[in-house]
A and B are shown apart, each in its own frame.
Chain A
């Protein structure tokens, strides 16, 4: 590697400047962005890749014989290869490009579960799921007469592993759990769960939307059957996501949607579906979004997922300690094994008032129910404030957060 190349490699110390959106003032303060769990900012390399594609290479994919169509197809398929390599899937056929984790989960519900579910069958989820890993299962249960079973959590926001084991009966057709909880930060013990499930031949879907930005994902090593995630949580564009599925399962599933690109031959007497993964990619896809996601993968690999994980764990430790110093704070989600996400409430200040006061000081956090209303109900709160950390955050950001919270307390004193 030449020195010039070394110079361009982003490191955690300087990666903040790779993100144009972070280099601005908001409400006359330099922006502190602590809402990456809702949507992460994009590095310039992602933005540039999308712009370059739009300016030079845009055409429809898999269709034309002309040069631009070739370029677009190459860039689109190259992104698929990057994603395959990033999560270490065995084959590129296992990478289905979707509009996001939500569509990925709905695809599994309708295409994998619905044809085989019958009354009395069960789908097992947990109490800490995001709505996108609850509602698709409720819909398919309603359609089939199957039952949605919810494993409980404890006061720290951890899965009750014993209860989960008890609920894992032979009539469970699928386990669908978050790899990491978006509201609580809890990292679920997915390796144990998958080992147990595999020994009993029960397929497992991991909702990886909050897992993929924080740690190295190796789907073969995890052994999950499906892994769903979104581009915009991992510094890519919105409106694009991935369903990883084991090839044997994807092969056995009927198409999710019908349309162009997912067929080999169409006649009014019948249609032959395309091979994997195209069978699940009906219609013109989000080409620029997929290309941007490929660039996001490049960026994450250049920083290094293990570096990111170490950096975030240190920051999480600092943030937890600093928040605990604030009088009247209640931390919600105190699992031992956590990603860099912290929910909290302060005194009796409503989270939205807290959000407004923090925003006024340039500190962006998420407030509300985080699309996890059952979690809010469990903790007996209408909502929480949530600070989520990404690779570009630092201890100064956390100091600004705590200062802003102290000010909110003074306003409501």
Chain B
């Protein structure tokens, strides 16, 4: 067997952090939400990632439950799983602030803008590694676009292409 030094490659380790691998392996809130009020599908045609996000929204505009199903790479699944953990019990406006912040952070090459973030991204910072892998950014923001689409009541499938 060939010996491989797995610590020599920090960028890769940064992309596939333990938290990401854990959420990819055991995604939280995975499955259908039978009493969802909003739903949207996200497709990444390049990778074949395909997620459906289910949202239950109350009259008070609070997201009382979020679930997702589908298949995809570790980055897209982990990102969706982290999303469900975070936005549950948030108001729609709060969730949209995170949508804007996450997509800005992952698609903006200028890291100096990170300091302007009004909110604490917390665990979502685990996705930062994708910034070094432009071809994978779409995977990381797929679920977030699906969330945005779902709560705006757009039934059409979202594509990251």
Q: Does A353 sit at the interface, judged by CB under 8 A?
A: yes
- A349 contact set on B, CB distance < 8 A: 74
Within 8 A of B (CB), among A127-150: none
Within 8 A of A (CB), among B132-146: 133, 135-136, 139
Q: Are A411 and B48 in contact (CB under 8 A)?
A: no
Q: Are B11 and A411 in contact (CB under 8 A)?
A: no
| Closest chain B residue to A399, Cβ basis | B2
**If A360-B11, A368-B48, A411-B12 touch, does A352 touch B4 (CB 8 Å cutoff)?**
no
| Closest chain A residue to B7, Cβ basis | A410
What is the size category of the interface that chain A forms with chain B?
20 to 34
Q: Are A382 and B4 in contact (CB under 8 A)?
A: no
* A320-362 interface bits toward B, Cβ cutoff 8 Å, 1 = contact, 0 = none: 0000000000000000000000000000111111001100110
Contact segment of B13-21, B30-38, B96-104, B115-123: B13-21
Q: Are B48 and A353 in contact (CB under 8 A)?
A: no
**If A352-B73, A353-B75 touch, does A368 touch B136 (CB 8 Å cutoff)?**
no
Q: Cα distance A383–B47 when bound, in Å?
A: 9
Q: Does B113 sit at the interface, judged by CB under 8 A?
A: no
Q: Are B2 and A402 in contact (CB under 8 A)?
A: yes
Q: Does A406 sit at the interface, judged by CB under 8 A?
A: yes
Choose from A351, A352, A412 the contact partner of B21 (Cβ within 8 Å).
A412
Choose from A382, A383, A411 the contact partner of B16 (Cβ within 8 Å).
A411
Q: Does A214 sit at the interface, judged by CB under 8 A?
A: no
Within 8 A of A (CB), among B62-111: 71-75
Q: Cα distance A360–B25 when bound, in Å?
A: 22
Q: Are B72 and A411 in contact (CB under 8 A)?
A: no
Q: Cα distance A33–B52 when bound, in Å?
A: 35
Q: Are A412 and B4 in contact (CB under 8 A)?
A: no
Choose from B48, B74, B75 the contact partner of A383 (Cβ within 8 Å).
B48
- B15 contact set on A, CB distance < 8 A: 356
Within 8 A of B (CB), among A374-413: 382-383, 399, 402-403, 406-407, 410-412
Q: Are A356 and B6 in contact (CB under 8 A)?
A: no
- B112 contact set on A, CB distance < 8 A: none
Q: Cα distance A348–B47 when bound, in Å?
A: 16
Q: How far is the CB of B81 from chain A (nearest CB, A)?
A: 14
- A311 contact set on B, CB distance < 8 A: none
Q: Are B12 and A357 in contact (CB under 8 A)?
A: yes
- A351 contact set on B, CB distance < 8 A: 73
Q: Cα distance A410–B75 when bound, in Å?
A: 17
Q: Does A369 sit at the interface, judged by CB under 8 A?
A: yes
Known contacts A357-B12, A411-B13; 8 further A-B pairs (Cβ under 8 A): A350-B72, A356-B12, A403-B2, A406-B2, A410-B6, A411-B6, A411-B21, A412-B74
Residues of A within 8 A of B (CB): 348-353, 356-357, 360-361, 368-369, 382-383, 399, 402-403, 406-407, 410-412
